[in-house]
Structure 1
Amino acid sequence: MSRLGEALAPTRLGTPFRWLMSASWSSNIGDGIALAAGPLLVASQTRSPTLVAMAALLQRLPWLLLGLWAGAIADRLDRKRIIIVANALRVLVVVALCGFIVSDQVSIGIVLATMFVYGVCEVFADSTTGTLLPMVVRRDDLRTGQVRLQAGFLTANQLVGPPVGAFLFAAGMVWPFVTQVLLVVVAIGLVSRMELPRGGVRGAVDTHVRADIVDGLRWVRHHAAMRTLALVILTFNITWGAAWSVLVLYSLDHLHMGAVGFGLLTTASAVGGVLATTNFDRLSPRFSLATLMKVCLLAEVVTHLALALATTGWVAIIIMTVFGAYAFTWGTVSNTVRQRAVPTAYQGRVGSVYMTGLFLGLVIGQAIGGPIAEHWGLTAPFWFAFVGTALILALVWRQLGSIAHAGDDDPDLKGHPDHG
């Protein structure tokens, strides 16, 4: 393997991981393209703020409605088959949208319906994909694997995909979606190359899906470390959602940055994430998971305070760059901690609890952020986030050590996967 290939996917992670990483990167480029092309398509069909807001809601609604079900199904059926089928359905949905666009029959109703159905397929694809890493790499390599997958998300989904999507949309309304279809098809082919055990991870299942969901929720409730981590993710996303719900107005009317400045503000976080990616392998061995968790959560508290106090755009851009760096690190560390502590047979259900909590937190935060800003000003949501995160962190600070090392004493979680 070349030096670059070894740096991206070390040989010790195995061939299945390389297929997983390649599929993830391909799919993330497609999703990044849609991240820009989707809103542009909505705006081409309507200027109604209500309908535009509804489009954003429809991207998160499937997680709230079906996230727990998707996690339970990932623990019941053949995971590779679920991913292939869900992604194939995503392809069909986007192909149908392309047909409406080419035939000039597209409308805001069709676009909104497409976004919802696509989101449903995405919930099942993403929930199940999130269970594969612990199946293909050793427990001690989960942190390294997470870094590679997170790096692909940042680079492909946040940096490369959106400008490509905007460029393709300018060239022709249908082209970004055609490109997205091709990239998802490539991802399907790559996943199909992975060598995984056939069938469900639990063997024969004679329970109802609802019973499996309850069992997963019960597992989280009785596991003190994972229960606390789930509550941290829920509450921190409420505060984050409240502050970020008014970010565009904060940048335009409080910092007076203009449209270009707002674009730089949002891009800065992705740049910070990429910088963290390039340095993570060197810094990670020097710090324990507990230390990294404490630093990341403390950095979020300070970030909200700094943005509440900022009065110039360039200061806010620096803050957002730092935010991107620790947000990437937190995502890598929290996913690693969870996957190290959760048995294979519960990865789908427990992962879906976290994702549902994440999106529920964002929805609640976005619902309260606007009214807070209306009554107390554009910096008020950031003050709310600062106080809220500071209180939450103070309550869980002493527990972060046990959370970070949950499962270390469980011999059943220390097996070595067969790399094929």
Structure 2
Amino acid sequence: MGRSFGYLWSSTALSNLADGVLKVGAPLLAVSMTRSPTLVSLVGAAATAPWLLFALYAGAVADRADRRRVMVVANVARAAVLAVAGVLALLGLLDLWLLLAALLIAGVSEVFADLSAQSVLPMTVPESDLTRANGRVSTAQMIGNDFVGAPVAGLLVAALPAVVFGGPALLYGAAGLLLLGMRGTYRLAPGTEGRRPVRRDIGEALRYLWSHRMLRSLAVAAGTLNLAMAAYWAVFVLWVVGDGSRMGLEPRAYGLMMTTFAAGAVLGSLVSGRASALFGEFRTLVGAWLVSSLLHLVPVIAPTPWALYPTAVLWGVTGAAANVLVISTRQRLIPAELLGRVNSAYRLVGMAGMPLGAALGGVMAEFAGLGAVLVGASGVCLVGVGHVWRAGSGRISRPLTSEPTLSDISRSR
């Protein structure tokens, strides 16, 4: 893997460390401002709503513009927004609504940065190295998001809330500067932008995704799982953190739980390739989703720290393994000239339900209780797993040792 991938990987590591601080720090800040499940769930909705609003346009931009430049601008933009939020927090002027506004604006930049990052990676490594490269990127993401970022966020909320925004602002800025070290151009067709309306580019991507049986099934399954997990995690902090929760964890202990999650995710990223070679990509992916769905019932059945921490490790293993396989599969199946747009269409389907799920989780918790939301979310995940299994299981007829990859399955669509 070359120098450009090294800069991309380093930038990814820094930006995901910032993501980790925000992912844990923002809900903990919200809990310090209100104990209302509905209001706390708005944090998750604000962080994910930009995917619903901007994903398709961001994908079109990624296929028209220099993908590296899009990432640089997006990182600098969210650094600026969070720096302002940090100053407001330092002055004691930050309230829940300003917190939500900062997350919403930063989330718009995240959409552009993430879609361009997934589209630019195949331009930095040979196709044969895609799974290995995605494994390394996924490892960096999990370490930054959870292994380091999560416990740091728990400490920052208790010590100096302003740094929950100021720290990520510096990290995003540094991530943008690192990308300048990537040599060459990362535009597919220089000079072609503007020749036809963006809506035609978006329509082409939507038609491709809809006509591709395996990609369509994976997108629908991912959307179902993400909707359910958005509801789950929107209120999970209320289930485990604070005196009125079922577990009574302190913010630091919650951060430690996310660290154990990251440890499992690192392992899952590293073993995903070996597992798929042994069991086949399709079985590995569906198996990981199935196990993860069932494991989310554990905090309800056994609401104790001794059960939570090992469960979090397994969440990380299964989630990361499935993520690596899905991303690598998309990058192999989608033509290079459509990669940004079809990725954006896929992620729109996959993530569109997250804001709704987060909001529904809060509302349902108000009326039915937190436990009902957690159990219901796990059940919805099982429905999504069943959908993708029905779509692909009939196409697997060879022994495990010679099972076709997802690429093979797609050719018979």
Counterpart residue identity of residue 334, structure 1: V
- Work out whether 1:239 is the aligned partner of 2:228: yes
Compared CA separation, residues 313 and 145, structure 1 to 2 (3 A): same
Between 1:25-34 and 1:374-383, the stretch displaced more is: 374-383
Compared CA separation, residues 115 and 323, structure 1 to 2 (3 A): closer
Between 1:333-342 and 1:168-177, the stretch displaced more is: 168-177
Compared CA separation, residues 91 and 263, structure 1 to 2 (3 A): closer
The within-5 A match list for 1:311-330 is 312-330=304-322
Aligned residues of 1:340 and 1:406 also touching (Cα < 8 A)? no
- Work out whether 1:352 is the aligned partner of 2:344: yes
- Work out whether 1:147 is the aligned partner of 2:135: yes
| Alignment counterpart, residue 365 of structure 1, candidates 328, 334, 357 | 357
Cα distance in 2, alignment partners of residues 350 and 396 from structure 1: 19
Aligned residues of 2:44 and 2:234 also touching (Cα < 8 A)? no
Counterpart residue identity of residue 341, structure 1: L
Counterpart residue identity of residue 216, structure 1: A
Between 1:197-206 and 1:356-365, the stretch displaced more is: 197-206
Between 1:322-331 and 1:109-118, the stretch displaced more is: 109-118
**1:375-415: CA deviations, max 9, x gaps?**
6665444543454444443443253366984545999xxxx
Compared CA separation, residues 257 and 409, structure 1 to 2 (3 A): closer
The within-5 A match list for 1:213-252 is 213-251=202-240
| Alignment counterpart, residue 200 of structure 2, candidates 205, 211, 235 | 211
- Work out whether 1:34 is the aligned partner of 2:22: yes
Compared CA separation, residues 213 and 80, structure 1 to 2 (3 A): same
TM-score if structure 2 supplies the norm length? 0.82
| Alignment counterpart, residue 249 of structure 2, candidates 244, 248, 259 | 259
Percent of pairs with identical residues: 32
Compared CA separation, residues 235 and 280, structure 1 to 2 (3 A): closer
| Alignment counterpart, residue 67 of structure 1, candidates 55, 69, 75 | 55
Q: Name 2:399's counterpart in structure 1.
A: none
Aligned alpha-carbon RMSD (Å): 3.4
Cα distance in 1, alignment partners of residues 383 and 83 from structure 2: 48
Aligned residues of 1:72 and 1:212 also touching (Cα < 8 A)? yes
Compared CA separation, residues 16 and 379, structure 1 to 2 (3 A): same
Cα distance in 2, alignment partners of residues 104 and 372 from structure 1: 32
Q: Name 2:115's counterpart in structure 1.
A: 127
Aligned residues of 1:272 and 1:324 also touching (Cα < 8 A)? yes
Counterpart residue identity of residue 257, structure 1: M
Task: Give the drift of 1:158.
Answer: 1.2
Cα distance in 2, alignment partners of residues 164 and 170 from structure 1: 10
Aligned residues of 1:201 and 1:344 also touching (Cα < 8 A)? no
Aligned residues of 2:120 and 2:186 also touching (Cα < 8 A)? no
Compared CA separation, residues 166 and 265, structure 1 to 2 (3 A): closer
Cα distance in 2, alignment partners of residues 182 and 312 from structure 1: 36
| Alignment counterpart, residue 66 of structure 2, candidates 52, 75, 78 | 78
Compared CA separation, residues 115 and 287, structure 1 to 2 (3 A): same
Question: Secondary structure in 2 aligned to 1:331?
Answer: helix
Q: Name 1:342's counterpart in structure 2.
A: 334
Cα distance in 2, alignment partners of residues 155 and 357 from structure 1: 27
Compared CA separation, residues 377 and 48, structure 1 to 2 (3 A): closer
Cα distance in 2, alignment partners of residues 208 and 385 from structure 1: 40
Q: Name 1:56's counterpart in structure 2.
A: 44
Q: Name 1:299's counterpart in structure 2.
A: 291
Structure 1: gaps spanning 5 or more residues: 1-12, 412-420
Counterpart residue identity of residue 148, structure 1: R
Task: Give the drift of 1:326.
Answer: 0.3
Aligned residues of 1:19 and 1:191 also touching (Cα < 8 A)? yes
Cα distance in 1, alignment partners of residues 182 and 288 from structure 2: 34
Aligned residues of 1:255 and 1:313 also touching (Cα < 8 A)? no
Cα distance in 1, alignment partners of residues 35 and 377 from structure 2: 30
**1:108-161: CA deviations, max 9, x gaps?**
554443332222222211221121111111222111111111111111111212
Between 1:116-125 and 1:238-247, the stretch displaced more is: 238-247
Question: Secondary structure in 2 aligned to 1:27?
Answer: helix
Task: Give the drift of 1:328.
Answer: 0.8
**1:219-259: CA deviations, max 9, x gaps?**
10111111111111111223333444443454479994212
